[in-house]
Structure 1
């Protein structure tokens, strides 16, 4: 009997339906016609690469050595030397929103993730429930034959769905990832992490040498080796460390590598970073260094007794970031060992937002004190007495806001401030030797984290699905970056992008930005904020003013009004409205939101553990 050809699958509708056998069924297997088509696994199109997406946490544009910063990141430099360095890549200014946008290819409010999961409301753009009309990239790739896994931080599950009884459909292993090893929530103690394997809480070793970063890396390497040995199909690995989010936990030897390197303070550090960024050409030669906001004190105005503590905070952070990059390097070494590096598309995103200024103006030994409105308890004397414990098992530390601002050099502002590039511009590296001819080149096209999904789909030769699990899909809102891989001079294709976070808002259109900073990140509890209508808007021509240093609002009022109207149009399109400038006050909102715990008490039985997310 002539073998029947296996038709090419139509991949716009997922999952692909099983094809029933069509043809005669002989009576006896010994009949010459008792020959049937081979059983074939669904596989990606020919030539589809392995995919590794690495997303660091709370790393500013000017933090890594690859982008001129003081933190040695040899893995990032290695990827940059063998690939592309993107200098105008943007995030949403906060973690859950960036992660939702990265995984779905839609703007964060469009998928209900206008803020972190702990601050959910019932407004459409803020429910923190990613809808089934926006299937994530893991699910799309899995249904197209990829092996999929997530390691590290998962901060996209609504708080009321994180309990041991579920529901679990938004957990990674029920939402496209076949394997998950990591933690749920905004952060975890790196020495004593709250780790899940799938949806099952597991205990980590009671060992003073244990740290989550090498543990999750070991798990990722083991998974990739298993795929290479047994699956023989392309893989998608999403590697999302909790680093360098607070608490800044790192073995002391790594922090000690930076002893004395930050004694001159954050103002001097900004100048050094700025000069090195120009030497690396990650900013233009004529770029201006923006001013330090008046809300952040000068280094020389800080209490003298506190200066050694402040310097140590930054040493610990730098060691933490270098330690993290080192373990990303172990992943690359595993790919080299397996002969997979050339055929693996790697996106190394150096931060899900700008550097974090949530550690108060003086830093903190226990960052949860500030979230509970009690930062005044940590006096300079209190901090000085604990300087040697920073980064260790007894601490839950975060650095001062001045360091965050320095690590966002040359841009104004920090994490949460979505209006300005300091909150939203992050370094990004692309490495794919088999398909990208360029080595060590820069790319200056404007891009945003929503562009990741279209890029991965185009690289894999896959269409964006119109139907997933019987649900019609919302169109992707990002733009593939593939056009820029081999053409440094290609004109921008992502020409319009809104930004909004807790009332801080902005709009980018064809080089111009209109922005307004509405709320200050370290003011977390009970601070009064002005009315939205009283916000002062700024206007920048970023084709000539790379860093948003020269406000042109008074010179071009009509252009400012045009962009303000455009922001409102985009805000209405993407469920940004109604604007909500509340911070932790939202945690107390109960109306319409499901709860894990009902009433004022909870009964637990032996073997149960109640997981409570931290922000």
Structure 2
């Protein structure tokens, strides 16, 4: 069954990154439509239709922080015509679930197993030590990736975009690389390895090496990864046309910062002036018209802390509308890139025989707070940005200077019709759209499926339809059970029972259990014992939006579900429970690289991600930089961060400067400096939570000091450079100087720390927070 070009909006285009050769493109076009008989089986085990004899490619497309209603095919007013075309020619699943945050979702997706069982109980930035082995972000070899399994079955595996399933402390240019994409079965990789990415100046890696941002006009990260994906497919189709490929494409969109060219924002000018209450109602009604929610579904009430739109003043409405215009334009731009990829697959003759699964990794985020933010670091650190500053500079939202996130009112719109947000185990955090497109393997199209599905089921389904039996051993390592369940029976049978009757959820103490049409969700008060939690009970078969708590009516059902949660949690290693989340950035096991007492970094070192850089939060430390300075020498000695937050040491116009920017205030210490050999030293004495006194020395002589308020959780969303400042400048004093490379000589940069009081070893303990089995 073929999808005709006139049935969808995909357009021809010429890439500006890959610059494919005429010869390669011609060969691909000639060979692309004549592919058959490769490894992979193409449909063995599929319940709905007979298997195809041709190869079957597999593609996972992952949006980041997009809510249940954000796609046009799931009720949105946002133009996502290319994704909607995939849905119209495929299937929409309206009962699909993920983890509440991204790393656990991606770990489940790529292994086919529950996230705690593979050590990803939380995001990969946190390592809670041996006391919580499920939250060390170290996916074991026993949990083989889909790429490793498919690689043994003749597949070539491509990874693009956001990764975020390696302990972020290991994301240094020195590795270790065994948990990077190429260490887990990918043959080619290009993208960002950390949690979020700037769209204009991302921290890029190609395979195992840092990569520069391409020097092209109007660069955008989403365009870049798609054009690299197109290059990979072209190379493959040109030279190995009979072999199948697997592609993992993880967009940075819709995660903050929301950044997109102005023309896409202008597409939605005035669209959101009516406000989030009206838009949410309109989406809700549209969802009913589309059949993605039942007619008797209910709309969740406005969340606590979100003001009624009509109660906002004119300036608030104007600013908040601009945030949402940017978010919508960002998604439309992403959709356009997906359209380019679909068009290229069709040109290569690879569209109909490619099983495409498109998801979002978790619900929409409320981290922008009640008023949104233009500073990603401040939002992450729960610091409110000045409203007047944002209002006066709202034209920067969406651009390089506007690292923005929309207000929580719009996040609730994204999660229509559900309650709550990313980070919770309520429906708003874990219930997302799933679109499946496979013309050669699925006869049904444009239909909605309501079978309960979980992110771990996608890889199980891939193995099923390809007729692949996951190996008991791989690389001489016994493999864990695949806990995902294939839902291929639902492809052409809307009433099919897939066998998926139970699924637990847990994140930072939030708990949910699904069993046989029922859902129970815990309500936890921070600082209390988990045994005191109340639980809500929902009948999913009659309460689509999960709003009507019937725990009082069915106490036996609820108690049974709670017991099932504990059984599943024990079985998957989800215990002990802990409330730890952002504070996990500072709780370091003794074997964590960042727990070291000293670091010596040398000039010429590659850019180092912030999460792998020396940790300066709430501790006493010294930074020493011996330099040789001639008259007229200047440039950056050391920089971590970007214009939104961070610190930098630099020489300019005969003066030495140290700056620390917490987003709200910039602290500067400056002094004249003589030519010759100089030892620069900065001493920071921690005087309380998120504060201290910094003193700058030249050749052991104090030249100035400042009382500094530091950020509590994460200094910046850009890493560290020695002898230059790549990507964005930390200081506006040298923002017109490029990377402002130091023209003198730097011997080294030495960090010396006092031992952290909160280094953990055997057990995880956080004062005032109960941890229990």
Give the TM-score taking structure 1 as reference length: 0.89
The residue that corresponds to 2:521 in the other structure is 515
Give structure 2 stretches of 5+ with no counterpart: 1-36, 42-52, 612-715, 718-773
In 1, Cα distance between equivalents of 2:307 and 2:298? 21
The residue that corresponds to 2:379 in the other structure is 370
In 1, Cα distance between equivalents of 2:316 and 2:216? 32
The residue that corresponds to 1:481 in the other structure is 487
**Within 5 A, what are the aligned runs for 1:2-17?**
none
1:325 to 300, 322, 335: 335
> Is the 8 Å Cα contact of residues 91 and 424 (structure 1) preserved in structure 2?
yes
Counterpart of 1:345 in 2: which secondary structure?
A: strand
Given the superposition, is the C-alpha separation of residues 108 and 267 from structure 1 closer, same or farther in structure 2, using an over 3 Å criterion?
same
> Is the 8 Å Cα contact of residues 42 and 144 (structure 1) preserved in structure 2?
no
Moved more, 156-165 or 530-539: 530-539
In 1, Cα distance between equivalents of 2:276 and 2:80? 20
Given the superposition, is the C-alpha separation of residues 518 and 70 from structure 1 closer, same or farther in structure 2, using an over 3 Å criterion?
farther
Cα displacement (A) at 1:220:
0.2
**Is 1:109 aligned to residue 116 of structure 2?**
yes
In 2, Cα distance between equivalents of 1:44 and 1:272? 44
Question: Which stretches of structure 1, 4 residues or more, deviate above 6 A after TM superposition?
Answer: none
**Is 1:612 aligned to residue 618 of structure 2?**
no
The residue that corresponds to 1:15 in the other structure is none
Give structure 1 stretches of 5+ with no counterpart: 1-40, 520-527
**Is 1:192 aligned to residue 201 of structure 2?**
yes
Cα displacement (A) at 1:182:
0.3
In 1, Cα distance between equivalents of 2:157 and 2:320? 41
> 1:265-305: per-residue Cα shift (whole Å, max 9, x none)?
11111101100000000000111112122233322334442
> Is the 8 Å Cα contact of residues 163 and 596 (structure 1) preserved in structure 2?
no
The residue that corresponds to 2:576 in the other structure is 578
The residue that corresponds to 1:161 in the other structure is 170
**Is 1:359 aligned to residue 365 of structure 2?**
no
Cα displacement (A) at 1:174:
1.7
**Is 1:433 aligned to residue 415 of structure 2?**
no
Given the superposition, is the C-alpha separation of residues 583 and 551 from structure 1 closer, same or farther in structure 2, using an over 3 Å criterion?
same
The residue that corresponds to 1:118 in the other structure is 125
In 1, Cα distance between equivalents of 2:232 and 2:143? 27
Given the superposition, is the C-alpha separation of residues 142 and 42 from structure 1 closer, same or farther in structure 2, using an over 3 Å criterion?
farther
The residue that corresponds to 2:347 in the other structure is 337
2:454 to 448, 451, 474: 448
The structure with higher relative contact order (CA 8 Å, sep 6+) is: 1
Cα displacement (A) at 1:601:
4.3
In 1, Cα distance between equivalents of 2:174 and 2:515? 45
The residue that corresponds to 2:550 in the other structure is 552
In 2, Cα distance between equivalents of 1:213 and 1:571? 37
The residue that corresponds to 2:529 in the other structure is 531
The residue that corresponds to 1:234 in the other structure is 244
Cα displacement (A) at 1:42:
9.2
Cα displacement (A) at 1:72:
1.4
The residue that corresponds to 1:44 in the other structure is 40
Counterpart of 2:162 in 1: which secondary structure?
A: strand
The residue that corresponds to 1:203 in the other structure is 212
**Is 1:458 aligned to residue 488 of structure 2?**
no
Work out which of the two has the higher radius of gyration on C-alpha atoms and give 1 or 2: 2
Counterpart of 2:601 in 1: which secondary structure?
A: coil
Counterpart of 1:165 in 2: which secondary structure?
A: coil
In 1, Cα distance between equivalents of 2:545 and 2:446? 23
Counterpart of 2:448 in 1: which secondary structure?
A: strand
Counterpart of 2:69 in 1: which secondary structure?
A: coil
In 1, Cα distance between equivalents of 2:436 and 2:606? 43
> 1:136-194: per-residue Cα shift (whole Å, max 9, x none)?
00111112110111000010011221111111011101210000000011101100011
The residue that corresponds to 2:234 in the other structure is 225
More helix by share: 1
Cα displacement (A) at 1:529:
4.2
> Is the 8 Å Cα contact of residues 161 and 596 (structure 1) preserved in structure 2?
no
The residue that corresponds to 1:260 in the other structure is 270
The residue that corresponds to 1:140 in the other structure is 149
**Is 1:99 aligned to residue 106 of structure 2?**
yes
In 2, Cα distance between equivalents of 1:301 and 1:577? 44
Give the TM-score taking structure 2 as reference length: 0.71
- The total of aligned residue pairs comes to 563
